[in-house]
Amino acid sequence: MALYHFHVTQVSRGAGQSSVASAAYRAGEKLQDSYYGETHDYTRKGGVIMSEIILPDKAPERFGDRESLWNEVEHVEKHPQAQLAYSFDFALQNELSREENIRIAREFIMENFVSRGMICDVAIHEPGKGPNDIPNPHVHVLVPMRPLNDDGTWGTKEHREYILDEEGKRIRGDDGKYKFNAIRNTDWGDPETLDHWRAEWARKVNETFELHGIEARVDHRSYIDQGLDLLPQIHEGPNVRAMEAKGIRTEKGEWNRFVKAINKAIGKILGTFKAVIEAIDEIKSEEEQLKAQGKAERKDFMDAIEEYRHDLQEKYDFGKSRLVSKKMLELYSFISVHDIRSLNELGDFAKVMYGKVYDIRHETRAYQDKVKEIDRVLDLVSKYKANRPVYETWYKIAKPKKKQEYQSAHDGELRIYHMADRELRKIYPDMKIPVKELLRQRESYMLKAREASRDLEHYDKAAKQAYALKKQVYEAHRERKKRVQERSM
């Protein structure tokens, strides 16, 4: 079955990430990180079938060496929270051979990334070698966020565009400094560019399928964009939109604002839990690597939390340590309430919460669909009643010529009437339409949809706490890993 996946994230120092470590993991190599003084060894990682660095014409040849490239990236970025690289991953197709997958991946990268001056560190993974495993070939592309100048030196990510007054003079802010907007020097991170790349990858895959006579096709649009998971809104119509534009709040407008808020909240919560699950999988993978090398420390989940608390106490002075204590108290309460005592249990908790939030979306969607169907019937009733007088007038005309003239003059109204009559009779053959009961049901479904979404606040809080816990465990894991690396040097 054809699968479409095309995703981009950022490798960020602020999130405790290293571009050298990211490159080593994706390529399955051992790289020395001179910025942190660490060695990242993923040579035992399986499933890496190909890795290479593809350079644009203006890039120096030394960037063809993975260790040199990513160490330069780390050192050129001075800010402690710097964003280092874009990390793309997209799915290859089981319907195609390995050679064909590699070919279209390289063509896509050359045509869409390298052509824009992007340095591309490419790795193709093909995990799933067990007898019952489903193959999951995919591509990783790591791209430095900082662009290159034409002479091959590192450029700047953004430039300042100062805000001017009517006389063209710079405006100072409350702090006395000139106000400006930070403008990115590339479009690599623009949503429009990502949408273009997603569409281009789908086109490349579908063209290849067609070339080989494969009937399968992929769609680059997200499930939400395809309308598969998005909670439906009510059609407002020109009158409602006009009232809303004047600041007059309508029932349909309020409902659609509620739906938009729910869509946003559910997407955010699901994304947060997904990030927790993925981070835990990464930690477990790295711990297994250390264990396989005989370097793992005997640390459990609670030790990681205690280490994090101790590290925080050392970093902050006494006044700020009270804030740290409050955060840790909330953390321990969260762990106790949900009985989370291990990394696996945190992962299981996130997966259960993800499922429950998805169930809320499914339940709310079901009520929304019922509301939408009732609105469709009520809209048909409205059109039926509004145009029935025209139909009755036409029906009573006896003379064929006058009847035809009237029909020509009122063709639109008569068509709408007949369409409404036809559709309503499919649902109510006797045309006894319980409008009052439909309105009562509609109100009931809308109330149930709101009630179903009320637990989202609880899940949003749980998602934030789980994410905070993940960050703390990740930090403790990183510190342990650093100590292990230092002892092995």
Predicted confidence (pLDDT) per residue in 161-212, tens digit:
778 777 778 888 777 787 767 677 888 888 788 888 998 999 999 999 888 8
Give percent of the chain with pLDDT exceeding 90: 28
Give the largest Cα separation in the chain, rounded: 103
Cα three-residue angle 58-26-33, rounded to 5 degrees: 75
Q: Which of 10-14, 239-243, 317-321, 328-332 has the lowest mean pLDDT?
A: 317-321
Which pLDDT tens digit goes with each residue over 244-256? 777 777 767 776 7
Residues 59 and 158 in one domain: no
Are residues 168 and 108 both part of a single domain? Answer: no
- Higher-confidence position of 350 and 196: 196
Task: Yes or no: say if 104 and 203 are a contact pair by the CB < 8 Å rule.
Answer: no
Last residue of a domain, one of 221, 238, 265: 221
Q: What's residue 69's pLDDT?
A: 96
pLDDT of 108 above 70: yes
Residues 4 and 153 placed together within one structural domain of the fold: no
Query: What is the spatial distance between Cα 109 and Cα 94, in angstroms, rounded to a whole number?
Result: 20
Lowest mean pLDDT among 13-27, 243-257, 337-351, 429-443: 337-351
**Distance (Å, rounded) from C-alpha 381 to C-alpha 366?**
23
Q: Region 107-117: what's the mean pLDDT?
A: 94
Alpha carbon 341 to chain centroid, angstroms: 29
Q: Are residues 76 and 96 in the same domain?
A: yes
Residues 114 and 178 grouped into a single domain: no
Which of 161, 185, 209 is a domain's end point?
185
Contact (Cβ atoms closer than 8 angstroms) between residue 293 and residue 485: no
Distance set, CA 138 to CA 41, 90, 204, 205, 282 (Å): 21, 6, 15, 13, 17
Same domain, yes or no: 167 and 104: no
Residues in the chain, total: 489
Is the pLDDT at 366 greater than 90, yes or no?
no
Predicted confidence at residue 133, as pLDDT, reads 42
Closest CA to 468 of 314, 309, 361: 309
Yes or no: say if 66 and 121 are a contact pair by the CB < 8 Å rule.
Answer: yes
pLDDT on residue 95 = 86
Query: pLDDT band at residue 317, thresholds of 50, 70 and 90?
Result: very low
Residue 1 has what pLDDT?
Answer: 46
Which is more confidently placed, 462 or 438? 438
Q: Are residues 270 and 415 in the same domain?
A: yes
Residue 203 CA from chain centroid, whole number: 21
Instruction: Indicate if the pLDDT at residue 144 is higher than 90.
Output: yes
Name the token pair of 6: 């095309």
pLDDT of 257: 76
Residue 362 and residue 406 in one domain: yes
Query: Is residue 342 over pLDDT 90?
Result: no
Strand partners, 295: none
pLDDT interval class at 329 (50, 70, 90): low
Confidence of residue 309 (pLDDT cuts 50, 70, 90): low
Of 384 and 477, the structure prediction assigns the larger pLDDT to 384
pLDDT tens-place string over residues 393-450: 999 999 999 999 999 999 889 999 999 998 888 888 888 899 999 899 888 888 887 7
pLDDT at 24: 92
Identify whether residues 459 and 423 lie together within a single domain. yes
pLDDT: which is higher, 76 or 347: 76
CATH number for 40: 3.30.930.30
Q: What are phi and psi of 240, to 5 degrees?
A: -65, -45
> Parallel, antiparallel, or unpaired: how do β-strands 120-125 and 138-144 relate?
antiparallel
323 or 38: whose pLDDT is higher? 38
The pLDDT of residue 240: 67
Looking at the structure, do residues 415 and 436 belong to the same domain, yes or no?
yes
For residue 166, the enclosing domain spans 148-185
Q: Is the pLDDT of residue 304 over 90?
A: no
Average pLDDT in the 130-159 region?
82
Q: Do 2 and 59 lie in a common domain?
A: yes
- Mean pLDDT, all residues of the chain: 78
Taking the CA atoms of 340, 344, 346 and 351 in sequence, report the sign of the dihedral they define: negative
Tell me the range of 31-45, 96-110, 414-428 where mean pLDDT is highest: 96-110
The whole-number pLDDT of residue 181 equals: 73
What is the distance between the alpha carbons of residues 30 and 32, in angstroms, rounded to a whole number? 7
**For residue 118, pLDDT beyond 90:** yes
pLDDT of residue 70: 96
pLDDT of residue 352: 73
- What is the tally of structural domains in the chain? 3
- Regarding whether 260 and 118 lie in a shared domain, the answer is no
